[in-house]
Structure 1
Amino acid sequence: MSSLTPQPSPRSRANADRPPPRSPLVTLALVTVLTGIGAGLSGMLLALLLHAIQHVAYGYGAGHIIGEESFLQGVTDTAPWRRVAVLVACGLIAGGGWWALYRYARPLVSISAAIKPGGKRMPIFATTVHALLQIVTVAMGSPLGREVAPREIGAAFASWLAKRTGLTAAERRVMIACGAGAGLAAVYNVPLGGAMFVLEVLLGTFGWSVAVPAISTSAIAAVIAWIGLGDAQQYHVPAYGINAQLVVWSVLCGPLFGAAAHGFARLTSRARNASPKDWRLPLYTLVNFAGIGLLAIWFPQLLGNGKGAAGLSFDDNLGIGLAATLLVLRVFITTTTLRAGAKGGLLTPGLANGALLAIVIAGLVNHVWPGLSPGAFAIVGAGAFLASSMQMPITAIVLILEFTHANHDLAIPLLLAVAGSVATLRLLTRAQGPSHGMPAASAERELRLAALREPSARESSD
C-alpha cells in the first residue's frame, strides 16, 4: 500500500524549503509611508482634542488650543470648586464609558497581543472608543498617561492597512508595532524615541528589516504632527552642566530608583488586575475621581498625567517638602485610579515620580555634600525611574533627551543612573520570581507586559 503513495517530486521538495514569500518592496514602502501619515494625523488630532477639553473644562486659554499657558497654570488659576466639579464629571464619564465599552463593544486586543504570531486583529471601533476615553479623562485630570491612546490608534490603523494590502503575517506584526511607535512619536514629538520603543520594547530586535520602517514611520508621524502641534519640545529646562556631586550621586542612587520603580510597577500591576469589570466600575471611578478633586483643592499639581510636576522638578521650582508630598499622593492616586478601573499609560506618571523622588534625594544629600543641582538630578532620576518602571532603558534615555533637549553632558550621569537602576530591577525580579511560582525570566517578562499593555474586562488574553 505504501508503494502506491505518491512521493513528492524534487521540485516540490525544493519549493517547500524556500522561505515564505515576501510582499513587494513597493508595497512595503507604501504601507510604511501611509502608516506614518496615519499615526501622525491621529496623534495630532488626539493631542488637539486633549488641549481643547482642558481649556473648556478649566476655562483657560480661550481661543487658543495651543497657547502659552500650561495645563498646570490653567488648573492652578481656576476656582477650587471647579476642579472638584470637573473631576466628578471625569469619574462619571470614565465609569459609564468603560462599562458600556466592555459590555457592548467587541473585545479589545492589546498591542502586545496583536503583534504576537497569530495574534488577533485590533477592532477599529472599540479601540477608537477606548483611546478617546483615555484622552478625555486625562484632559479632565486623570493621573494616568495619554501615550497609550495614540499608540493604540496607530497600531490599529497599521493593522487594518497591512491586512488590506496583503502583507505577510510577519510584516503585519512589524507594521503594527511601527504604528504604535509612530503614534508615540507624533504626540510627544520624539521621532527617535518612537522608533526605539518599537525596536527595544515591542519587537525586541534591532535588525535592519525592522529598524528602517520603525525609524521611517516615527519620523513621518512626528513631521505630520507639526502641522497642528508645531515643532515643540515637552519640557524647557535650564542649561545644566555636570559636576562631581551629580556623577557620584547618580551612581549611588541609581539602585534606589530601580528599587522604587520595581515597587511602583508591581503596585500598579496588581491594581490593574484587581479593577472591577461590572456595575462597580462606575461607582469606583466616581468615588476615586471625586477624591482626587478634593485633593486638588490644596494640590492642583496632582491633576493630569504628571507633566506639571515633572516640569516643576526639572526647573528646580519645588521644595523638598512639596516634592515629597506630591510623590506620595501621585503614587497613591495613580494606584487608586487603576484599581477603580480607569485606563491610561504610565510613561509620564513614572517620569514624574522619578523626578519628584530625585528632588527629595537632592534636598537631603545637599546637607551632606552641597553642590548637587536638584533640577539636573531630577532629569537623571526621571530617566532612571522610567527605564526600570517600563523595562526600557535605551528608550528611556532617548526619550529624556528628546523631551528636555538637555545638555548632552547630562547623558553621562543619566547612563550611570539607568545602569544601576536596571541592574537592581533585574536582581529584584529574579529574586522574587521563584517566590511567585514562576522562573525569574518569566517574572521579568510579566513585569514588562504589565507595564505596557492596557488590559480590560473584554480584552483578549496575552
Structure 2
Amino acid sequence: MKTRHRSYPARALRYARARFRRDDFWLAGIAALLGIVCGVSVAAFDWLVKHIQLLAFGLGTGEISGADAIPPDRLWVPLAGGIAVGATIWIAKRLGRRLEKVDPIEANALTGGRIPLPGALWIMVQTLLSHGMGASVGMEGAHTQLCSALGSKAGSLASGRRNDMRLLVACGAGASIAALFQSPIAGAFYAFELVIAAYSIGNLAPVVIASLAAAGTRMVLYPSALHFAVPALSLGPSAVVMILMITFATVAMAITVMRCCTRVETLLRAVMPACA
C-alpha cells in the first residue's frame, strides 16, 4: 500500500508532463503560474530593497532616490555596499561554472532555452546589495534573468521540448518587465521582440497570459510601488500634427535602419564569403 501511495505523485507528474506536451491549455496554465511567481518575485524584491534602504540610511520613506541628501553619518553605507558587491563578484569567479550566467536571448538562440538557476539567483543577490546600499543602476537585467531562469526551470520540470522551453523563457522575461513597470503590453512586446525574435499566433496566448498574471500579482501584493504623476495636457491641432510627423519620421528611420542592416549583411557575405 505504501508503494502504491508513493507512486501517486510520480503518476501525477507523468500525466502533467504528457498533457503539457499535447495540450496548449496546459502550456497556458503553466505560463499563468509562472507569471504569478514572477510577480511575487518582483514585489518581494521591491519590498526588500525599500526596507534595506530604510535600515541602512534611516530615511523616513525608505527610498533614497527622492531624498534631498544622505545623513552624514550614513555615508559609509555606499562604500560598504561596493565592498559587498565586489566580494560577490570574487566569489562568483572562484565558483566558476557553478554560478554560470546565461542571458535569456543567448539561451533561446544557443542553449535551447536552458538557463542555470543558481547564476540567476546570484545576480539577484548582487542587485539586491547594490540597490539596498544606494547604487543607482537598473533592476531590469536581474529581474529578467531570474524570471527567465524560472521559466526555464518550469520547462525542465515539465519535460518540455526545445520550442516549449524557449517559449517559457520568453514568458518569464516578459512577465518580469510587465511586473516591474506595471505594463503587460511592454512585457509582451519585450518577449516577442528581444527573446523570441518573431511573432506568431501560437505564442501569443502564453506570453500575454504570463505578462498579465505578473502585472496583476505585483499590483495586488505591492500596490504602492509605482507612482507616475501625469499632468493634464491640452493638445491643440498643431500639437497633433507635430506628433504625427514625429511618429512617421521615427517609423521611417526604423525601417531605414533595418533595411540598411540587411543590405550591409548581404554585402559583407558577398565580399567575405568565408566569414558568412
TM-score under structure 2 normalisation? 0.76
Quick check: 1:121 aligned with 2:114? yes
Distance 1:234 1:416, change over 3 A: farther
Which of 79, 91, 96 is the matching residue for 2:87?
A: 96
Partner residue, 2:4: none
Which residue does 1:151 correspond to in 2?
144
Alpha-carbon separation, structure 2, partners of 1:54 and 1:431: 47
Please name the residue that 1:78 is paired with. Answer: 70
1:112 aligns with 2:105: yes
Query: Helix, strand or coil for the counterpart of 2:109?
Result: coil
Q: Residue 24 of structure 1 aligns to which amino acid in structure 2?
A: D
Q: How many residues align?
A: 247
CA 1:55–1:232: 2 relative to 1, 3 Å: closer
Residue pair 2:38, 2:175 contacting (<8 A) in 1 also: yes
Shift of 1:110: 0.7
Counterpart of 2:265? 439
Alpha-carbon distance between aligned partners in 2 of 1:191 and 1:153, rounded to the nearest angstrom:
18
- Listed as ranges, the matches of 1:399-410 within 5 Å are none
Relative to structure 1, is the Cα distance of residues 136 and 423 closer, same or farther in structure 2, using a 3 angstrom cutoff? farther
Residue 240 (structure 1) shift: 2.0
Report the alpha carbon displacement of residue 419 of structure 1 after superposing the two structures with TM: 5.1
Letter in 2 for 1:97: T
Say whether the 8 Å CA contact 2:104–2:113 is kept in structure 1: no
Q: Deviations over 1:416-455 (max 9, x none)?
A: 5465456557767988999xxx73999xxxxxxxxxxxxx
2:177 equivalent among 179, 184, 199 = 184
Would the alpha carbon gap of residues 90 and 28 (structure 1) be closer, same or farther in structure 2, given more than 3 Å must change?
same
Aligned CA-pair RMSD: 3.2
Amino acid at match of 1:91: G
**Correspondence 1:28-47 to 2 at 5 A:** 28-47=27-46
Residue equivalent to 1:287: none
Q: 1:25 to 1:210 in 2, by over 3 A?
A: closer
Instruction: Return the alpha-carbon distance in structure 2 between the equivalents of residues 180 and 51 of structure 1.
Output: 23
- 8 Å CA contact 1:101–1:130 kept in 2: the answer is no
Residue deviations 1:344-387, cap 9 Å, x none? xxxxxxxxxxxxxxxxxxxxxxxxxxxxxxxxxxxxxxxxxxxx
**2:52 aligned with 1:53, yes or no?**
yes
- Counterparts of 1:418 and 1:94, CA distance in 2: 42
Q: Following the alignment from structure 2 to structure 1, what is the Cα–Cα distance between the partners of residues 215 and 165?
A: 22
| CA 30–52 in structure 1, closer or farther in 2 if over 3 Å, else same | same
- Partners of 1:90 and 1:246 in 2: how far apart? 47
- TM-score, with structure 1 as normaliser: 0.47
1:197 corresponds in structure 2 to 190
2:177/2:183 contact within 8 Å kept:
yes
The offset of 1:177, in angstroms, is 0.7
- Kindly provide the CA deviation profile for residues 141-190 of structure 1, in whole angstroms up to 9, marking residues without a partner as x: 32321112221111111101111112211011011011111012112221
Structure having the larger proportion of residues in helix = 2
8 Å CA contact 1:47–1:187 kept in 2: the answer is no
Contact 1:98 1:130 in 2 (8 A): no
Q: CA deviation at 1:208?
A: 1.8
CA distance in 2, matches of 1:94, 1:44: 22
Cα distance in 2 for residues equivalent to 1:94 and 1:419: 45
The whole-number CA distance in structure 2 between the counterparts of 1:418 and 1:218 is 26
Shift of 1:203: 1.6
User: What is the aligned-residue identity percentage?
Assistant: 25
Alignment map for 1:162-311 (pairs within 5 Å): 162-230=155-223, 233-243=226-236, 246=239
- Long gaps (5+) in structure 1: 1-20, 62-66, 252-412, 443-462
- Would the alpha carbon gap of residues 181 and 120 (structure 1) be closer, same or farther in structure 2, given more than 3 Å must change? closer
**Pairs within 5 Å for 1:280-359:** none
What residue is the counterpart of 1:332 in the other structure? none
Q: Which runs of 5+ in 2 are unaligned?
A: 1-19, 269-276
After TM superposition, give the deviation of residue 212 of structure 1 in Å: 0.8
